[in-house]
Chains A and B, each alone.
Chain A
């Protein structure tokens, strides 16, 4: 199994706060890797460092063997990394269909192609794919609705569909089931399992341990910006350091 993402010695501090403290982490190709840890541990910050939203103070991020430090966010995405954010990042004022077309166009045409004269509604291949991904999420019927008016769960599903439509090599998920009802959570687990089954590598941040243990092959535990342990799910379940990090949190 080859390493798809390799983070080594990454540090990031905000003022006096050490948000990431010498983080080392490897995500192997074709696996689901969970990143867990208490609130404020630095999980989202770590994803920010991967997608180029912030540049680490020190350390390296390698994706597919290539150094990603200092690479522009859009180039990082074009290399094959897509991210679902903790609070859905979609195009609120645009219709669901248009939301879906933008990532598809970015995937087909690259970072910049000023197609001024062709019509969006004449892009057959793009529309076909949009229908496919939206139907998967039960959103095709709402394609003319403005994304801002969707429920929180639907927004998440839309964002997930947008990321998946880009056929990413690595999918980053930041708490994909937060705020979802149990039934919805289970649907999402099934969905993510199908996606993983297609061989898409995933790094998933999640507080819900049911989700973590149903999906992941490997788990890293982050606390106060540091990876305190990493291993197979069974190992993590019984590791005393993890219990301590969660201050006796009942969930683990």
Chain B
């Protein structure tokens, strides 16, 4: 599976994608191995429609905003910090994705990984920060964090919550979009957008904005859900319908990107993906771990050309 992926990616270009050397090779048990059930709630997985992604053909080419997507988040905004509420999966994934960020960013920026605040001195923007689930740990790890989200409601909640701890009250929250920050000519050492790209109208434009926000030589990190059979079964059927982790309709399978597609559009935006890892859920422990299996949730670390 892993080698197939690399060949496939290799067909697109010659990616110097290194597997995270710290990853355990033994992927944890998968959540579900069966195929999607017969009456699919959204578009049938057998013929992945292309129209969902080709949003650049749509009328709003300059904005990555998708009103329908934002309305979904607005409805559940109050529960951002309820670790067993609708955002439970993000809470549960947090240690795992932060471990990935810690190891990739420390290596790239030559920071000492053995200290409590290795990101001291790094300016990081958390794009689509929601209630600040990721921004707060980044601040505790020493980064100078800016959190942005398209929804005012999210920003308000993020601000209140961060204000409760002096360490996180340094986070600068702002209700804006990546495009607007680009116009303001803001730049960061690292630009991070986790679990956002599947909700934006135009992923290509979005990636260009992320790249424009990244200092040359800086890093861009994106995580999302793969558009695969397995992701259909787990992220939509299981997470939304069976386990009720996510409100029904949270995800539109057709707007998911495959790792190959993400690598390609990032490359076009001058970001070279250097490392990629999958997240797998272990139902026995209720924990997520990093693995080679990128068939459902995956995270990509890239660096911006230049300098």
| A and B: bona fide binding partners | no
B residues lining the A interface (CB < 8 Å) = none
